[in-house]
Amino acid sequence: MTQAFRTTSGGRIDRKKAINFTFNGQSYIGYEGDTLASALLANGVHLLGRSFKYHRPRGIVAAGAEEPNSMVQLGEGATTEPNIRATQISLYEGLKASSVNVWPNLELDISAINGLFAKIMTAGFYNKTFMWPRSMWMKLYEPVIRRAAGWGKAPAMGDPDIYDHMHLHVEVMVVGGGPAGLMAAMAAGRAGARVLLVDEQNEFGGSLLSRKRQIGGKDETAWIADMVAELEAMPDVTLLRRSTAFGYYDHNYLCVLEQKTDHLPAAERKGKVRQRVWHIRAGQVVLATGAHERPLVFADNDSPGIMLAGSVQTYVNRYGVLPGKKMVLFTNNDTAYEAAIDLQAAGGDVVAIIDCRTEPTGELVDAARALDIEILAGHAITGTSGGKRVSSVEVRKIQKGAKVYTTIERNIDCDLVAMSGGWSPVVHLFSQSQGQLEYDEEKVCFLPGKSRQAQQVAGALAGQFSVKECLAGGYKAGADAARATGFTPKRKPAAPEIDEPAVGSVEPYWIVPSSRPVGEGMAKHFVDLQNDTTAADIELAVREGFESVEHIKRYTLTGFGTDQGKTSNINALAILSGILDKPIPKVGTTTFRPPYTPVSYGALAGRNLGDWSDPVRVTSIHDWHVKNGALFENVGQWKRPWYFPKQGETMQEALNRECLAVRNSVGVLDASTLGKIDIRGPDAAEFLNRIYTNAWAKLGIGRVRYGLMCHEDGMVFDDGTTARLAEDRFLMTTTTGGAAGVLDWLEEYLQTEWPELKVYCTSVTEQWATVSITGPKAGAVLEKLAPEMDLSHENFPFLSFKEGEVAGINARIFRISFTGELTYEINVPWTCGLALWKAVMAAGAEFDITPYGTESMHILRAEKGFIIVGQETDGTTTPQDLGMDWIVSKKKPDFIGKRSFTRSDTARPDRKQLVGLLTETPDDVLPEGSQLVFDPNVPKPIPMAGHVTSSYYSAALGRSIALALVKGGHGRKGQKIFAPLDKRTVTAEIVDPVFYDKEGDRLNG
Amino acid sequence: MAETEFWITPAAAIASAFPDGLTELSPRAQVNLRGDAEDASFMTAVKTATGIDLPETPNKAATGKEFKALWLSPDEWLLVGEGEAATLVQNLEGALKGQHFAVNNLSANRTIFELSGPHCHHALMKSSEVDFHPRVFAPGDCLQTLIAKAQAIVEQVEEDRFHIYVRSSFSRYVGAWLAEALAEYRLAD
């Protein structure tokens, strides 16, 4: 509450804007510009959580995306988020966070006793321990492990926040807004390219936010501000802050997560988009993703207060926070010295620099000496004490090549250990883009090698570790990218004078021995802090035969988790290289995969939720159906009325009423969803002859015919009626779900197989709304609506159509039937569908006209034995299987599927064939999908005879009916068949599939 | 009688709540035409009937007196205008008699949304993967793509003004989607 560790001045925080927040229930104050991590450190809070496996106290290690610890549960209720790292949370008023993986609380964690059993919790522990007995896994092991090792808690409610997606095309995308990225964006922007610059931080500047530099006579803040101002003034340059490029895919397609409101107090977020995923297509990509510092692997290197040196420098310079007041620096390179110098300048005390190099020299080393900081060269930290906060370190002289360092040189009291094992370029996106990595012995890191995509690399990623190199490298990358996308870069500006210390040298030092060999004794050399993986675990894994780096990763968990091993991967493989005695490049790296940092499911889903998870297609009559109590069924993307229950009716009662209305008077169906295709051209009839199984050449103008379509394999894939509008013109109807597929099918054949046919197809599905009136009174209804029209059966016979006005609307009326009753399908322009429907309802009122839905439609057609493609067929059903041999032409020279009907398998007599079933007990309605057997009493497994495809209660027949595909069914009529269900076996008789009006007398009303 | 007397589209029910920058246009004639662009007699006949030189360059619109023609594919155009669709169909049928072509009055098949104003590009960026940036896509350009997950024709009619043709059954889905895409800017403005 006092911010005792805040410096008196400086930093990029706004000290006038205090922010209240709580951590584990305790209230604190930070400043605008803080992260949760920097605000906690300002308040002297280092202990943030407990480790994954051993429940050791853990604190903040880094200042950015590489942070392995400091996971917190952020927020409450529906918007709570688990396992967010404190270094990635911008502080906002009212923020509430708590530790994860602690029980009962952070200070007193019972599971820390795990530490005492550490010897058995080594690599592969879970794989080895919880294998047997299997039944114990669900009951005991998993719940206990989840309690002990689980991290935060997922919210129990739906996510109330808004997420969306945006697509952006640019010539040059720059990832990373440090000195190199800013310069690259500037070069490309000045050349005139459309540029996108993204950076995960709340402000641009990258490393310059942490390090003080004079650039061209300006301090770093002024230089960044000038660069950003110029970029912002360019109309085709897009700058995205708080935006992480998390995935880099083929063809320079990248995904970026922009956090738009996560830094705002809850009240200011309302109604706004919380996070946006940007889908970027870039001509060229400039990767300027910087570098992460590596920890050093020494004994008990995991206590709170042991941090990365560069991150200490960030907390001092960027946030005005002293992470400690008595610091020991442990390093293998020069750059880390700057952290010590800056901490000392900000009021901290650097008690010693432990440098593993025997003779460190250079500008920064001299500067530290000049400040009277003691430098212990050729020494190493070999142990720490303190537990919940580091309180001292044990320092020994390095004995080159030894497995054990024998003499304790010093014990140094401290409250902060800054460590630096050198810098690892952030190659993640480069590697995701399939670029190859090359190991650089001098810089002790992997650098981008061969690119696989149109891209440039710049800055620390490319091994350019000084600002001077970054500016030059960034400019070149941006200019090259602009040139590659067709722009001419402006003349290169003169390089500015930069005041910065020389980078100096780095010496690899992958593992620090202590008084006993690594893995012996109680000391732990942590490699992966998030997964509690130690150097000893890697050694053990190798001893057990896991030598591939990918196996090591999976066996020891190194590199998993929310940080994806950003601080541990390189150390792990360097240690592996030492154990295997193979050079690092030969060991290789694990695969870098998206996402670079975690992305919430909400962001990935965007707006494609609920009603928008898939388009909802509605007819022009839809709202009438809703108003009149219809329940809906999804058919493809369509909402179709399923049935229209009246108050108090059960589903079956409603269906009985609807079906009987059709059989006894008149019913009405919204059939607008059927696909409709206009087919026109001199070869249209020939085309249909080849597409359908039956003959079309002689169909008279004004007449309609039913047709089946098969794929080349002879299997039915769509059906419908087609009318001949003119000599050279047909109107085809398709199933509701099949419309788009059929049009594609027709076009494919026209364009690739039969280009000689002069035929054009045009989808007209939504030009026509279709109202189908059916039943003995259908004619009487239509007569009222179209008094001028001659509806006599002579002039308007079954399977013909007429054009004329119905209810004052220009219409096409088709006499076809899917119910077996007299039916008129009236087609009017889509937008007049509702007007027609209302007119039909009014005209039919005296006959109690009854709207019905898809379920009654299914019953009515099943009573007549009419198939539904996709219900009676499943892609393995031929017309002959369906008993529809009558529709397969024997005379046509060819049509699609013809050849396949003579294949031995298609022609064999015991194929599954369509039959009707009548259950022994008339009220018994078989479940659709029921398996059928010829003899239920033979030993199991009983040979399957077929399955039920459709099954209903038929009110017209007063009993149940079913359709089924049965092996050799056509020859088995009159035989019994059995459906063994859960608790009983239903007996049925195989019958003809036409149950109602076999003679077809009812078609004419 | 006027064909559009009873017209109502599914989007109409939600159109009154559309934010600034989004409207559903009143119905207009839309006639689909297919024919061989390489056949001079076809092109000439269309020109005679409509006064339009059908665009042969992909994704371009050409304007005539009463109608414009949007290029949809190498042998397909959509003629759009305020005139009578039936008359246009008749004229085309007459002019093309004896040739191989297809003409269909599709005025009811699609509804047209107009997206305009300072945020029209943002709404498109949220709805489509296509690059509609002024450097790439300009007035007189059109193309077929997806708006959200629905098939659509997008035509730019002038700077910051787009017409989006959507199949009627999808119109409520697309209308609601576009309205939502603009919502955040209404909040900000």
Q: What is the pLDDT of residues A129-145, one digit of tens each?
A: 555 555 665 566 666 56
Please report, for the domain that includes residue A542, its CATH number: 1.10.10.1100
Domain assignment present for A594: no
Regarding whether A970 and A952 lie in a shared domain, the answer is yes
Residue A1 pLDDT: 47
Q: Name A846's Cβ contacts closer than 8 Å, sequence gap at least 6.
A: none
Residue A509 scores a pLDDT above 70: yes
Q: Where are the beta strands (DSSP E) in A199-332?
A: 214-215, 218-219, 237-240, 243-249, 253-259, 273-287, 291-293, 306-308, 326-331
Q: What does the alpha-carbon distance between residue A196 and residue A833 come to, in Å, rounded to a whole number?
A: 48
Comparing CB atoms, the residue among B105, B169, B187 nearest residue A617 is B169
Instruction: Give the CATH fold of the B18-188 domain.
Output: Gyrase A; domain 2 (3.30.1360)
Choose the mutation target among B96, B104, B109 for the interface with A, i.e. most A CBs under 10 Å: B109
Contact indicator for A895, A691 with CB cutoff of 8 Å: yes
- Test A167 with B125 for CB contact under 8 angstroms: yes
Q: Where are the beta strands (DSSP E) in A309-407?
A: 326-331, 349-355, 375-377, 379-385, 392-397
Least confident range from A72-86, A100-114, A602-616, A985-999: namely A100-114
Q: Which residues does chain A have within 8 Å of residue B130's beta carbon, measured at their own beta carbons?
A: 167
What's the pTM value of the predicted model, to 2 decimals? 0.93
Residue A321 pLDDT: 98
Q: What is the pLDDT of residues A929-951, one digit of tens each?
A: 999 999 999 998 999 999 999 99
Choose the mutation target among A762, A764, A810 for the interface with B, i.e. most B CBs under 10 Å: A762
Regarding whether A324 and A429 lie in a shared domain, the answer is no
Instruction: Give me chain A's average pLDDT, please.
Output: 94
- Test A829 with B135 for CB contact under 8 angstroms: no
Domain assignment present for A870: no
When pLDDT is averaged across residues B128-145 and rounded to a whole number, the result is: 97
Look up residue A682 and give its amino acid: P
Regarding whether A270 and A334 lie in a shared domain, the answer is no
Residue A149 scores a pLDDT above 80: no
Domain assignment present for A614: no
Regarding whether A255 and A232 lie in a shared domain, the answer is yes
Q: Which residues does chain A have within 8 Å of residue B122's beta carbon, measured at their own beta carbons?
A: 166
Q: What is the pLDDT of residues A165-190, one digit of tens each?
A: 999 999 999 999 999 999 999 999 99
| Nearest chain A Cα distance for residue B5, angstroms | 8
- pLDDT band at B2; cut points 50, 70, 90: very low
Contact B133/A at CB under 8 A: yes
Regarding whether A727 and A781 lie in a shared domain, the answer is yes
Instruction: Give me chain B's average pLDDT, please.
Output: 93
| Nearest chain A Cα distance for residue B51, angstroms | 23
Question: Which of A554, A587, A620 is the last residue in one of the domains?
Answer: A587
Q: What is the pLDDT of residues B147-187, one digit of tens each?
A: 999 999 999 999 999 999 999 999 999 999 999 999 999 86
Residue A51 pLDDT: 87
When pLDDT is averaged across residues B3-14 and rounded to a whole number, the result is: 74
Q: Which residues does chain A have within 8 Å of residue B35's beta carbon, measured at their own beta carbons?
A: 760
Domain assignment present for A869: no
Residue A147 scores a pLDDT above 70: no
Comparing CB atoms, the residue among A273, A612, A832 nearest residue B177 is A612
Three-class SS of residue A370?
helix
Contact indicator for A5, A323 with CB cutoff of 8 Å: yes
| Nearest chain A Cα distance for residue B65, angstroms | 25
Choose the mutation target among B8, B79, B124 for the interface with A, i.e. most A CBs under 10 Å: B8
Q: What is the pLDDT of residues A846-859, one digit of tens each?
A: 999 999 999 999 99
When pLDDT is averaged across residues A655-678 and rounded to a whole number, the result is: 98
Domain tally for chain A?
6
Contact B146/A at CB under 8 A: no
Residue A524 pLDDT: 94
Question: Which of A105, A129, A153 is the last residue in one of the domains?
Answer: A153
When pLDDT is averaged across residues A229-246 and rounded to a whole number, the result is: 98
Burial track A491-515 (b if 16+ CB lie within 10 A, e otherwise): eeeeeeebeebebbbbeebbbbbbb
| Nearest chain A Cα distance for residue B43, angstroms | 17
Listed by number, the residues of chain A in 613-632 with a beta carbon closer than 8 Å to a beta carbon of chain B are: 614-620, 622-623
User: CA end-to-end span of chain A, whole Å?
Assistant: 89
Name the residue in chain A with its Cα closest to that of B110.
A766
| Nearest chain B Cα distance for residue A668, angstroms | 20
Please report, for the domain that includes residue A227, its CATH number: 3.50.50.60
Domain assignment present for A484: yes
Angle at A987 between CA A984 and CA A989, to 5 degrees: 165
DSSP string, A173-212: EEE--SHHHHHHHHHHHHTT--EEEE-SSSSS-GGGGTS-
Residue A116 scores a pLDDT above 80: no
Least confident range from A245-254, A307-316, A996-1005: namely A996-1005
Regarding whether A790 and A726 lie in a shared domain, the answer is yes
Name the residue in chain B with its Cα closest to that of A678.
B104
| Nearest chain B Cα distance for residue A129, angstroms | 49
Q: What is the ipTM of this complex?
A: 0.96
When pLDDT is averaged across residues A77-85 and rounded to a whole number, the result is: 91
Residue A128 pLDDT: 63
Regarding whether A431 and A399 lie in a shared domain, the answer is no
Three-class SS of residue B76?
strand
Q: What is the pLDDT of residues B44-88, one digit of tens each?
A: 999 999 999 999 999 999 999 899 999 999 999 999 999 999 999
Please report, for the domain that includes residue A744, its CATH number: 3.30.1360.120
Domain that holds residue A48: 1-153
Q: What is the pLDDT of residues A876-896, one digit of tens each?
A: 999 999 999 999 999 999 999
Question: What are the boundaries of each domain within chain B?
Answer: 18-188
- Test A279 with B8 for CB contact under 8 angstroms: no
Residue A158 burial (C-beta neighbours within 10 Å; 0-12, 13-18, 19+): exposed
Listed by number, the residues of chain A in 817-836 with a beta carbon closer than 8 Å to a beta carbon of chain B are: 829-832, 834-836
Regarding whether A306 and A287 lie in a shared domain, the answer is no
Question: Which of A387, A406, A421 is the last residue in one of the domains?
Answer: A421
Domain assignment present for A888: no
Three-class SS of residue A115?
helix
Residue A107 pLDDT: 76
> Which residue's structure tokens are 């895409």?
B181
Residue A26 scores a pLDDT above 60: yes
